[in-house]
């Protein structure tokens, strides 16, 4: 196959201390890339560790001074990496390698194996300097993981913090000479890019710059009744009916009573006038997205169901 027609295959190498949101980000990124049409899978080293060694692995297993445990962790990580590279050779486009990948030495080993397999590497490092963000991640994610099942909250937290201390002692942040990488700081408050090149890495940057790790409320509503709804006709761009305009007013009242007059809300709508009229009744300027338009009905557009 010529260089011009060679399919670029990637390993996305997750980097970061525990409780930074790596697994959440990896799964969200995989969903986005799959939606774009790329065959993408997450290969999680922690899940493999639990399947082989059980969920209840003590903090000493993560101590880099424990040579036997370190050898086990290294062999486990490389086993998962080899499985990922095998999948890329046969079927995949993007494999996401979800592990801490804490040291320069280990990352260099991973990159060497990827280069030998003809696969490009993009690092995604997630850091958190804000103690409140780390504490929230620990409470919401880590303490409920299978690693701490059956432990009370205080014991689970103490055990996790001992594990975290082992990682913090040896952790090395990504360096400029480590190739292509994206660093996400404090849940997206800052994004740092290093040697990003090409369409797919650019799409990953776009997605990760808009990814929200913290919880957000999302409210969905259909538009009010349209004239085509009354006539039982398909598609089109009709205005709201009298009942539809009444619905829009009631929706506005519910929004203002439920969230208050000073609520900082974003209102999104399609370009179709029935949706825009429903949204505009709230008194908030909606963001109009063509991608929210319903699928065109083709030759059936404007026809009645009958």
Res. 156: pLDDT tops 90:
no
Are 231 and 205 part of one and the same domain?
no
Label residue 29 by pLDDT band (50, 70, 90): very high
pLDDT-above-70 percentage for the chain:
94
Q: What is the pLDDT of residue 135?
A: 79
Q: Per the structure block, which two tokens stand in for 25? A: 């980000």
Q: What is the pLDDT of residue 2?
A: 42
**Weakest-pLDDT range from 59-73, 147-161, 277-291:** 147-161
Closest CA to 15 of 200, 211, 181, 202: 181
* Beta-carbon count within 10 A of 215 CB: 7
Domain closes at, from 183, 209, 235: 209
Q: What is the pLDDT of residue 1?
A: 42
Which residue segment(s) compose the domain that 285 sits in?
227-300
* Beta-carbon count within 10 A of 294 CB: 12
Q: What is the pLDDT of residue 142?
A: 65
Are 149 and 177 part of one and the same domain?
yes
220 domain residue, yes or no: no
Alpha-carbon distance of 254 to 282, in angstroms, equals 9
Cβ proximity of 102 and 13 under 8 Å? no
**Weakest-pLDDT range from 109-113, 143-147, 263-267:** 143-147
Alpha-carbon distance of 93 to 98, in angstroms, equals 16
214 domain residue, yes or no: no
Q: What is the pLDDT of residue 213?
A: 67
217 domain residue, yes or no: no
Are 238 and 291 part of one and the same domain?
yes
Alpha-carbon distance of 66 to 278, in angstroms, equals 63
Cβ proximity of 181 and 123 under 8 Å? yes
Cβ proximity of 16 and 125 under 8 Å? yes
Cα distance from N-terminal residue to C-terminal residue, the chain: 53
Q: Per the structure block, which two tokens stand in for 42? A: 């997450």
Q: Name the packing angle between helices 67-90 and 45-53 (round to 10°).
A: 120
Q: What is the average per-residue pLDDT within 62-73? A: 89
Label residue 141 by pLDDT band (50, 70, 90): low
Q: Which residues contact 183 (CB under 8 A, 6 or more apart)?
A: 125, 126, 127, 173, 174, 190, 191, 192, 193, 194
CATH number for the domain harbouring residue 84: 3.40.50.300
Res. 60: pLDDT tops 90:
no
Global confidence as pTM: 0.75
Beta strands at 10-15 and 120-127: parallel, antiparallel or unpaired: parallel
Task: Tally the domains of the chain.
Answer: 2
Are 97 and 180 part of one and the same domain?
yes
Are 45 and 133 part of one and the same domain?
yes
pLDDT-above-90 percentage for the chain:
66
Mean pLDDT, rounded, of the chain: 90
Is the dihedral angle over the CA atoms 130, 206, 110, 95 positive or is it negative?
positive
Res. 161: pLDDT tops 90:
no
Q: What is the pLDDT of residue 6?
A: 60
306 domain residue, yes or no: no
* Beta-carbon count within 10 A of 53 CB: 14
Question: DSSP state, 51?
Answer: H
Are 145 and 255 part of one and the same domain?
no
Are 56 and 129 part of one and the same domain?
yes
Alpha-carbon distance of 141 to 56, in angstroms, equals 16
221 domain residue, yes or no: no
Q: Mean pLDDT highest for which of 3-12, 79-88, 139-148, 187-196?
A: 79-88
CATH number for the domain harbouring residue 242: 3.40.50.1240
144 domain residue, yes or no: yes
223-279 tens-digit pLDDT: 999 999 999 999 999 999 999 999 999 999 999 898 887 777 899 999 999 999 999
Cβ proximity of 197 and 180 under 8 Å? yes
Are 290 and 199 part of one and the same domain?
no
Res. 40: pLDDT tops 80:
yes
168 domain residue, yes or no: yes
């Amino acid at each position: 196959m010529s260089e011009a027609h060679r399919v670029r295959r990637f390993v996305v190498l997750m980097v970061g201390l525990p409780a930074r949101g790596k697994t959440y980000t990896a799964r969200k990124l995989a969903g986005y890339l799959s939606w774009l049409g790329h065959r993408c899978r997450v290969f999680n080293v922690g899940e493999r560790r639990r399947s082989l060694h059980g969920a209840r692995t003590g903090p000493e297993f993560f101590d880099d001074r424990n040579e036997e445990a370190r050898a086990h962790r290294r062999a486990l990580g490389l086993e998962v990496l080899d499985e990922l590279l095998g999948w890329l050779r046969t079927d995949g486009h993007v494999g996401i390698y979800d592990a801490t990948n804490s040291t320069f030495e280990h990352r260099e080993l991973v990159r060497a194996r990827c280069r030998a397999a003809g696969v490009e590497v993009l690092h995604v490092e997630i850091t958190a300097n804000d103690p409140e963000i780390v504490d929230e991640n620990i409470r919401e994610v880590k303490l409920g993981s299978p690693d701490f099942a059956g432990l009370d909250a205080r014991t689970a937290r103490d055990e996790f913090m001992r594990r975290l201390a082992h990682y913090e002692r040896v952790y090395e942040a990504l360096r400029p000479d480590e190739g292509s990488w994206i660093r996400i700081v404090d849940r997206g408050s800052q994004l740092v890019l290093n040697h990003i090149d090409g369409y797919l890495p650019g799409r990953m940057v776009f997605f990760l710059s808009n990814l929200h790790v913290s919880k957000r409320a999302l409210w969905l509503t259909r538009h009010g009744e349209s004239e085509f709804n009354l006539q039982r006709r398909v598609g089109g761009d009709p205005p709201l009916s009298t009942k539809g305009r009444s619905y829009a007013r009631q929706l506005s009242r519910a929004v203002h009573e439920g969230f208050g007059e000073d609520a900082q809300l974003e209102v999104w709508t399609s370009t179709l006038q029935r949706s825009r009229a429903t949204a505009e009744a709230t008194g908030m300027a909606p963001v109009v997205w063509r991608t929210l338009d319903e699928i065109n009905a083709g030759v059936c557009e404007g026809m009645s169901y009958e």
